[in-house]
């Protein structure tokens, strides 16, 4: 287990992270961490490693792209001084290109995405003990699908960024692909983007594996 006693773990991202978390910060009362994978991670950490006392904070915001994260990075990440930071962003950067193609203001293309993500991670790496980068994903089994193909390119950017900065890396698309061998996309997400409870558990499990969580620790 890479986390140690009393550490603060911040998640930042879009609606998949947000899931109706509390404002201004997603921590505290039952439900404060939202209904998604962040809440699952917190529940699993506390249930299995209660002696560690990990403080989990959810700073996801629905609809956000990496451009929006940049705007609030100082306040929502730097000033909160995380020991560990987890970033999963990019879904909306891609999705807006496909669901509202006529409104280019909302599109974040690859160059801007990569530059912005790189800059944020470079700034933050020295300040935290560890950073975990999770790819965005698209719950569609057909790799030739146009939006899936684009999402995979954004995932590659995340992978490269993680490698360059020595971050932990979670390939969420790979995790979903494995389940998609058994289940049709609509079983896991109404719109191929927002996962069901099972889909959020896939995310939680993929993250926890990367940080060395053991379900059956003695």
Give residues in contact with a second copy (CB under 8 A): 6, 27-28, 30-31, 33, 35, 39-40, 42-44, 46-48, 50-51, 53-55, 95, 98-103, 142, 144-147, 179, 182-184, 186-187, 190-192, 196-202, 205, 215-216
Q: What distance lies between CA 107 and its chain's CA centroid?
A: 19
Tell me the closest approach of the beta carbon of residue 52 to a second copy, in angstroms: 9
Q: Which residue's CB is nearer to a second copy, number 89 or number 139?
A: 139
Q: Is-catalytic flag, 105? A: no
Q: Is-catalytic flag, 194? A: yes
CA distance 149 to 93: 14
- Among 62, 76, 191, 216, the one annotated catalytic: 191
3-state secondary structure of 189: strand
Residue pointed to by tokens 């790819």? 135
Please name which of 134, 136, 139, 135 lies closest in space to residue 193, comparing C-alpha atoms: 139
147 cis-preceded (ω within 30 degrees of 0): no
Q: Which residue's CB is nearer to a second copy, number 119 or number 198?
A: 198
Q: Which residue's CB is nearer to a second copy, number 163 or number 214?
A: 214
Q: Is-catalytic flag, 165? A: no
Tell me the closest approach of the beta carbon of residue 29 to a second copy, in angstroms: 8
Tell me the closest approach of the beta carbon of residue 122 to a second copy, in angstroms: 28
CA distance 39 to 5: 19
- Among 83, 141, 145, 194, the one annotated catalytic: 194
Tell me the closest approach of the beta carbon of residue 120 to a second copy, in angstroms: 25
Tell me the closest approach of the beta carbon of residue 9 to a second copy, in angstroms: 10
Question: DSSP characters for 8-43?
Answer: EEEEEESHHHHTT--SSSB-SSTTTT-SSHHHHHHH
3-state secondary structure of 85: strand
Q: Which residue's CB is nearer to a second copy, number 55 or number 67?
A: 55
Instruction: Please say whether the dihedral angle defined by the alpha carbons of residues 184, 178, 41 and 128, taken in this order, is positive or negative.
Output: negative
- Among 15, 42, 64, 76, the one annotated catalytic: 15
Q: Which residue's CB is nearer to a second copy, number 33 or number 157?
A: 33
The half-sphere exposure of 48 on its side-chain side, counting CA atoms within 13 A, is 16
Residues involved in catalysis = 15, 191, 194
């Amino acid at each position: 287990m890479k986390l140690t006693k009393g550490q603060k773990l911040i998640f930042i991202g879009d609606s998949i992270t947000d899931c109706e978390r509390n404002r201004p910060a997603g921590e505290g009362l039952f439900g404060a961490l939202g209904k998604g994978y962040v809440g699952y991670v917190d529940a699993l950490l506390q249930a299995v490693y209660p002696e560690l006392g990990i403080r989990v904070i959810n700073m996801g915001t629905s609809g956000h792209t990496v451009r929006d994260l940049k705007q609030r990075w100082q306040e929502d990440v730097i000033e909160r001084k995380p020991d560990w930071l987890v970033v999963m962003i990019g879904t909306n950067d891609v999705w807006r290109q496909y669901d509202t193609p006529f409104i280019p203001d909302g599109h974040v293309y690859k160059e801007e995405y990569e530059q912005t993500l790189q800059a944020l991670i470079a700034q933050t790496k020295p300040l935290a003990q560890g950073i975990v980068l999770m790819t965005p994903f698209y719950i569609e089994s057909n790799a030739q699908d146009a939006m899936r193909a684009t999402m995979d390119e954004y995932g590659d950017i995340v992978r490269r960024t993680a490698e360059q900065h020595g971050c932990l890396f979670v390939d969420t698309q790979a995790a979903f692909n494995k389940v998609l061998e058994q289940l049709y996309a609509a079983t896991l997400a109404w719109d191929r983007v927002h996962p069901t409870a099972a889909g959020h558990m896939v995310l939680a499990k993929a993250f926890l594996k990367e940080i060395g969580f053991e379900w059956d620790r003695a």
